[in-house]
Amino acid sequence: MNPLLSRLQPYPFERLRQLFADVTPNPSHRAISLGIGEPKHPTPAFIKQALAAALEVPGSDLSGYPPTAGTAQLREACTAWLQRRYGLALDAATQVLPVNGSREALFAFAQTVVDPDRPAVVVCPNPFYQIYEGAALLAGAEPYYAPSDPARNFAVDWDSVPEATWAKTQLLYVCSPGNPTGAVMPLEEWKKLFALQDRHGFVIASDECYSEIYFREEPPLGGLEAAAKLGRGDFRGLVAFTSLSKRSNVPGMRSGFVAGDARLLKQFLLYRTYHGSAMSPIVQAASVAAWKDEAHVVDNRDLYRRKFAEVTPLLEKVLDVRLPDAGFYLWAGVRGSDTAFARDLLAQYNVTVLPGSYLAREAAGGNPGAGRIRMALVADTAECLEAARRIVQFVQDQQSNP
């Protein structure tokens, strides 16, 4: 067996299952889960119709192997979306590559980029999406957890990473909008990272799967967009990862794309050719339809905006929480232990939340997720409001019975 597998930590939801193993939820309340970031809004009908219609198109059945690089139509739909969303003109033949969701690609990319025969560090935010850590470990690298700053909505404190660590860094994962905090990286932060990249030569993987769910008027800045604004139009050393899962409510389709540095994508395509990562032609056809349409994305964003506008003020009364920049999570501070909070909330009010400490690692003298919880507001507004009311009552119960 690969000995590196032994270094993987249990996934947060496995830890949650273990935490709740001996908990009996209050049966007087129906179960509501805010624990898993899985979109629950309905999949748009036109995407399901595109999936079905693709089976009837001559030559588009399932009897042949699909190209790993994807069809020209899909790559062109991706570049057209990048043009509309960010004002960028990319080469559909060399600068975009369809992938089976951003999670799969974020993991596989590390296996392409990291050279384990020399000192290899992979830097990622803390708290973070656990795929970054697993990808680093199985590529033979050491993860470094860059601390976040609670005073800046848990934006990453890149200045705290030692120069000696940057010197060994081969890959940097950034996540903007961030999971779990929803923080968006401004242009000055990108400028800082590009300067570090120029000094040390590492690759940047920009995870942008939450880019289309935002609460301000101006959409979040993307990594490729930042590079272009800073005169780095060749996107050297930079690849952005995006997905239809959250944007279009189709996590079951496993469809996204990566874009950026043509040199890196050429090597990533080579890896994927051996890895067997081609996207089904039926999914490719439906993905073309999804990337071409923005009306459903606007409607989806409006649903989240209305939901957060109703839920956040309720929770602000009892928790340290505020509206994020983007994403569909609330990252809330609680009194005392985050794991005890989650256990007691489930037992008394049958609401599931994820302890923040499960999304971070002990580093620089502490776990930056400790004392916080992540709530995924993915269900409909009524269910999220019901969960919020129960949480308010739970906290008030705690305060009256310390």
Query: Is residue 69 located within the same domain as residue 111?
Result: yes
**392 and 332 within one domain:** yes
Residue where a domain stops, chosen among 293, 328, 346: 293
- Separation CA 238–CA 243 (nearest Å): 17
pLDDT recorded at residue 155: 85
User: Which residue range is the domain that position 200 belongs to?
Assistant: 45-293
**Strand locations in 109-232, DSSP E?**
121-126, 142-149, 155-156, 169-175, 203-207
The pLDDT score that the predictor gives to residue 288 is 98
Indicate whether 152 pLDDT > 90. no
Q: Residue 291, exposed/middle/buried by CB under 10 A (0-12, 13-18, 19+)?
A: buried
Residue at token pair 């994820």: 354
Whether 217 and 323 map to the same domain: the answer is no
Q: Assign 173 a pLDDT band (cuts: 50, 70, 90).
A: very high
Residue 389 CB partners (closer than 8 Å, separation 6+): 314
Q: Are 25 and 59 found together in one domain?
A: no
Q: Quote the strand ranges of 66-108, DSSP E.
A: 96-99
Instruction: From 293, 317, 333, give the residue that closes a domain.
Output: 293
Of the pLDDT bands very low, low, confident and very high (cuts 50, 70, 90), residue 61 is low
What average pLDDT score do residues 66-71 get? 94
pLDDT at 329 over 80: yes
Count of structural domains, the chain: 2
Q: Does one domain contain both 253 and 167?
A: yes
The pLDDT-based confidence of 304 (bands split at 50, 70, 90) is very high
pLDDT of residue 355: 98
pLDDT averaged over every residue in the chain: 95
Q: Indicate the helix (H) or strand (E) that contains 296.
A: helix 295-316
Mean pLDDT, rounded, for 32-46: 95
What pLDDT does 81 receive? 98
Residues 14 and 111 grouped into a single domain: no
User: What pTM does this model have?
Assistant: 0.96
The answer on 319 and 279 residing in a single domain is: no
What integer is the mean pLDDT of 318-327? 95
CATH of the domain at 97: 3.40.640.10
* Domain end point (choices 267, 293, 319): 293
Q: Is pLDDT of 360 > 90?
A: yes
Q: Which residues pair with 366 in a beta bridge?
A: 363
Does one domain contain both 276 and 176?
A: yes
Tell me if 310 sits within 8 A of 385, measured CB to CB: yes
d(CA 86, CA 90): 11
* Cα distance between residue 369 and residue 372, in whole Å: 6
Buried b (16+ CB within 10 A) or exposed e, 98-118: bbbbbbbbbbbbbebbbeeee
Shared-domain flag, residues 329 and 288: no
C-alpha separations of 389 from 291, 314, 324, 357 in Å: 37, 7, 20, 24
How do residues 228-268 score in pLDDT, each as one tens digit? Answer: 999 999 999 999 999 999 999 999 999 999 999 999 999 99
Q: Residue 60's pLDDT band (boundaries 50, 70, 90)?
A: low
Let me know how long the chain is. Answer: 402
Q: What pLDDT sits at residue 150? A: 83
The three-state secondary structure class of 154 is: coil
- The residues with which 96 forms a beta bridge, in sequence order, are 259
Share of the chain above pLDDT 90, in %: 92
Report the pLDDT value the prediction gives residue 310, as an integer from 0 to 100.
97
In Å, the largest CA–CA distance within the chain is 68
User: pLDDT band for position 59 (50/70/90)?
Assistant: low
Residues 14 and 116 grouped into a single domain = no
Residue 287 has pLDDT above 80, yes or no: yes
- 22 lies in the same domain as 136: no
Give the rounded distance of the alpha carbon of 98 from its chain centre: 17
Q: What percent of the chain has pLDDT over 70?
A: 99
CATH number, domain containing residue 358? 3.90.1150.10
110 in the same domain as 80: yes
Would the pLDDT of 166 be above 70?
yes
